[in-house]
């Protein structure tokens, strides 16, 4: 069967949850037994977001095949529950790079290289490649940014060209807009949506479906008005109110009838939607239950998007253990200055996520020390494992200036050091140890018990690793290296023996957690945190703070 394409653009403003909406559409189509692939086209000129600041871009999502991609791909994997590949994120930077490299090789035989047709052809090639490689029934293609952005024009032009190349039954254009609310008159306004559709039409695209995001209920008058002014069927104007729970979005979209509308338009036969498991997740997450306070200690905590998959993984694990995860965002810089140390006292579990660069490191080390000394469950992800080892070296092994050579190149004790194969690398883009690698687990360890397996595959993104010169020393004092690369060379998991749950992994388990299948390390961490909370309640808070600003020399 020829693949069908859903092209999804945004209008009016950004940050209305277009990526989530697309992921949710993917879910309701998959629920009908269709094979769905999703792709994000990002109009910026970076080749990938790997070198961008989390302040600019949020989390970098790593695919199994080692691509550093947009965080929307995380939503796609969590909602559709299919692994995407590097083909699912195309940036203008990649497109231009490919075209210019071909030009340098002389592939264009003396032609003048232009945005149309060369750049647009390359964009269309990338879109069709996803369909070919995944053998999907439906490919959903999301264009980043909003209609009217200068840099998205070549992408929209490519979509316009595809409209004529594909038949009417093979393509559908969805435009996601926003309805602002005027408080004084208590009205929702459709004018920005009308303007945004006019902008698209100017480019030659007439949307078939309009998803109107809003924070307020939408009445029929508004729907009729959008349908009339934007020339879209009334049944294809889909109001989508902000949800209290992102996992409810597929159910909300299903309830609008959009799934059947899409199938009808494509003349596709498919089964009735099976959203049973999904409904269970949502109703379970809404049940009233005990609060569990998990602290995420990072340097970008004011921007929660920087830790998107970590946050969602905690939520998944908590839902399945009938706990209400209350995420406490703790700035590692504040801990360094001794300002947030009281916040640690309130926590039931501490998580130190991945990160780069020295800023805030001493605060993360202080958090690891607090967790170790006070038996607070601790999960360290990538950098979080590295700071756990630095803290142990400094305060248990007595190696006072122990550090990572990432933060202090002249430290006498580089317990974390640059990986051998990274030493000659000078380019920053796409050169880390990236993607899925196998890891063997030590029988009887916390990790092996959590996974209930002897070997796993996990996704990586790092340049530094545990320095094997220190393995015996750590081992003798109670650190178990419970996960190793199959050749035994790379430490992938370290855990403390004399602690209820203090575990760090060099990989990023957060990329594998799904709402219907929480990751075993997160589940075990959340379970340990709930046990710690319950024990603490019994002991009536005899805990004392180990973090004083004076400790942070
Ligand atoms: N900066 C560390 C490294 O490169 C950790 C990376 C991370 O946390 N993703 O090894």
- DSSP secondary structure, 308-342, as one string: HHHHHHHHHHHHHTTEEEEEEEEEHHHHHTTSSHH
Locate the ligand 1 atom nearest the alpha carbon of residue 381 and give its number.
8
- Give the residue-averaged pLDDT of 268-284: 94
pLDDT in tens, 478-534: 999 999 999 999 999 999 999 999 999 999 999 999 999 999 999 999 999 999 999
What is the share, in percent, of the chain residues with pLDDT greater than 70?
Answer: 97
Locate the ligand 1 atom nearest the alpha carbon of residue 461 and give its number.
9
The residues, any chain, with a CB within 8 Å of residue 361's CB and separated by 6 or more, are 332, 387, 407
- What pLDDT score does 169 carry? 86
Helix 72-80 to helix 18-30 angle (10° resolution) is 20
Q: Please determine, for residue 294, whether its predicted confidence score (pLDDT) is greater than 50.
A: yes
- Give the residue-averaged pLDDT of 25-46: 96
CA of 382 to the centre of ligand 1 (A): 6
Q: Is 147 left (phi over 0), alpha (psi -120 to 50) or beta?
A: beta
Structure tokens at 323: 């706990």
Which pairing describes strands 323-331 and 237-241: parallel, antiparallel, or unpaired? unpaired
Q: If pLDDT is split at 50, 70 and 90, which confidence band does 542 have?
A: low
383 lines ligand 1 (CB under 6 A): yes
- Give the residue-averaged pLDDT of 192-200: 95
- CA distance readout (Å), 6 to 26, 200, 302, 472: 10, 16, 34, 56
CA of 356 to the centre of ligand 1 (A): 6
Q: What are phi and psi of 535, to 5 degrees?
A: -65, -40
- What pLDDT score does 547 carry? 53
Give the single-character DSSP code of 3. P
CA of 465 to the centre of ligand 1 (A): 8
Could you tell me the sign of the dihedral formed by the alpha carbons of 62, 65, 70, 76, in that order?
A: negative
463 lines ligand 1 (CB under 6 A): yes
461 lines ligand 1 (CB under 6 A): yes
The residues, any chain, with a CB within 8 Å of residue 392's CB and separated by 6 or more, are 368, 372, 474, 477, 479, 496
Separation of alpha carbons 279 and 255, rounded Å? 12
Structure tokens at 206: 């007439």
- Assess contact for 26 and 139: CB atoms under 8 A: no
464 lines ligand 1 (CB under 6 A): yes
Q: Please determine, for residue 15, whether its predicted confidence score (pLDDT) is greater than 80.
A: no
Q: Where are the domains of the chain?
A: 287-419+430-537
Q: Please determine, for residue 393, whether its predicted confidence score (pLDDT) is greater than 70.
A: yes
- What pLDDT score does 17 carry? 87
- What pLDDT score does 147 carry? 87
Q: Please determine, for residue 168, whether its predicted confidence score (pLDDT) is greater than 80.
A: no
- Give the residue-averaged pLDDT of 253-266: 96
pLDDT in tens, 120-143: 999 999 999 999 999 999 999 999
- CB burial class (10 A; 0-12, 13-18, 19+) of residue 426? exposed
User: Which CATH number is 287-419+430-537 given?
Assistant: 3.40.50.880
pLDDT in tens, 86-120: 999 999 999 999 999 999 999 998 899 999 999 99
- Tell me the best of 407, 419, 461, 510 to mutate to test the pocket of ligand 1, counting ligand atoms within 8 Å of each CB and taking the most: 461
pTM: 0.94
Q: Please determine, for residue 148, whether its predicted confidence score (pLDDT) is greater than 90.
A: no
Q: Please determine, for residue 552, whether its predicted confidence score (pLDDT) is greater than 50.
A: no
- DSSP secondary structure, 202-228, as one string: HHT---SEEEEEESS---HHHHHHHHH
54 lines ligand 1 (CB under 6 A): no
CA of 177 to the centre of ligand 1 (A): 37
Separation of alpha carbons 291 and 301, rounded Å? 21
- What pLDDT score does 551 carry? 47
- What pLDDT score does 544 carry? 56
Top pLDDT among 430 and 168 is at 430
- What pLDDT score does 421 carry? 83
418 lines ligand 1 (CB under 6 A): no
- Tell me the best of 462, 465, 491 to mutate to test the pocket of ligand 1, counting ligand atoms within 8 Å of each CB and taking the most: 462
Q: Please determine, for residue 50, whether its predicted confidence score (pLDDT) is greater than 60.
A: yes
**Other C-beta atoms within 10 Å of 150: how many?**
8
360 lines ligand 1 (CB under 6 A): no
CA of 385 to the centre of ligand 1 (A): 9
- DSSP secondary structure, 382-441, as one string: THHHHHHHHHHHHHTS--TT-EETTT-TT-S-EEEEE-GGGTT----TT-SEEEEEEEEE
CA of 406 to the centre of ligand 1 (A): 9
pLDDT in tens, 323-369: 999 999 999 999 988 887 889 999 999 999 999 999 999 999 999 99
- CA distance readout (Å), 521 to 118, 323, 347, 461, 499: 47, 16, 18, 18, 16
Across the chain, mean pLDDT equals: 93
Q: Which residue has the tokens 């009938």?
A: 322
Structure tokens at 364: 């993360």
Q: Please determine, for residue 254, whether its predicted confidence score (pLDDT) is greater than 90.
A: yes
Top pLDDT among 14 and 27 is at 27
């Amino acid at each position: 069967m020829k693949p069908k394409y859903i092209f999804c653009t945004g209008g009016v403003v950004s940050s209305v949850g277009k990526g989530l909406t697309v992921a949710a559409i993917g879910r309701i189509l998959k629920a009908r037994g269709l094979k769905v692939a999703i792709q994000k086209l990002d109009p910026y000129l970076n080749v990938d977001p790997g070198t961008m600041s989390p302040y600019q871009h949020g989390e970098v999502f790593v695919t199994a095949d080692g691509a550093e991609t947009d965080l929307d791909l995380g939503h796609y994997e969590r909602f559709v529950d299919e692994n995407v590949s590097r083909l699912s994120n195309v940036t203008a930077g990649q497109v231009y790079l490919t075209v210019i490299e071909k030009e340098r090789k002389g592939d264009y035989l003396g032609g003048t290289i232009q945005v149309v047709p060369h750049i647009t052809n390359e964009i269309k090639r990338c879109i069709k490649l996803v369909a070919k490689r995944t053998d999907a029934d439906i490919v959903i293609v999301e264009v980043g940014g909003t209609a009217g952005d200068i840099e998205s024009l070549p992408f929209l032009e490519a979509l316009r060209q595809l409209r004529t190349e594909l038949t009417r039954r093979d393509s559908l254009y969805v435009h996601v807009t926003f309805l602002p609310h005027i408080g004084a008159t208590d009205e929702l306004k459709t004018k920005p949506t009308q303007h945004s559709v006019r902008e698209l039409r100017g480019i030659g695209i007439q949307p078939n479906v309009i998803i109107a995001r809003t924070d307020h209920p939408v009445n029929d008058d508004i729907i009729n008005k959008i349908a009339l002014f934007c020339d879209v069927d009334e049944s294809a104007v889909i109001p989508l109110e902000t949800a209290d729970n992102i996992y409810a979005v597929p159910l909300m979209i299903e309830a609008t009838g959009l799934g059947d509308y899409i199938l009808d338009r494509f003349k596709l036969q498919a089964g009735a939607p099976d959203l049973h498991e999904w409904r269970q997740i949502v109703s379970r997450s809404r049940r009233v239950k005990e609060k569990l306070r998990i602290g995420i200690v990072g340097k970008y905590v004011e921007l929660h998007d920087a830790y998107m998959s970590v946050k969602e993984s905690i939520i998944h694990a908590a839902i399945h253990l009938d706990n209400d995860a209350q995420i406490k965002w703790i700035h590692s810089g504040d801990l360094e200055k001794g300002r947030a140390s009281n916040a640690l006292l309130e926590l039931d579990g501490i998580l130190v996520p991945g990160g780069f660069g020295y800023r805030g490191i001493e605060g993360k080390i202080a958090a690891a020390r607090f967790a170790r000394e006070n038996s607070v469950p601790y999960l360290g992800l990538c950098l979080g494992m590295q700071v756990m080892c630095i803290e142990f070296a400094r305060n248990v092994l007595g190696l006072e200036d122990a550090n990572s050579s990432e933060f202090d190149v002249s430290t006498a004790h580089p317990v974390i050091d640059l990986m051998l194969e990274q030493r000659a690398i000078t380019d920053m883009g796409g050169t880390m140890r990236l993607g899925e690698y196998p890891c063997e687990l030590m029988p009887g360890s916390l990790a092996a018990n959590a996974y209930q397996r002897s070997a796993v595959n996990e996704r990586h993104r790092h340049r530094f690793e545990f320095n094997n010169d220190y393995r015996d020393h750590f081992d003798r004092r109670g650190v178990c290296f419970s996960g190793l690369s199959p050749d035994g060379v790379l430490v992938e998991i370290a855990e403390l023996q004399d602690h209820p749950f203090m575990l760090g992994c060099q990989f990023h388990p957060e990329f594998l957690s799904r709402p219907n299948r929480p990751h075993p390390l997160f589940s075990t961490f959340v379970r340990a945190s709930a046990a710690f909370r319950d024990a603490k309640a019994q002991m009536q808070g005899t805990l004392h703070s180990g973090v004083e600003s004076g400790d942070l020399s």
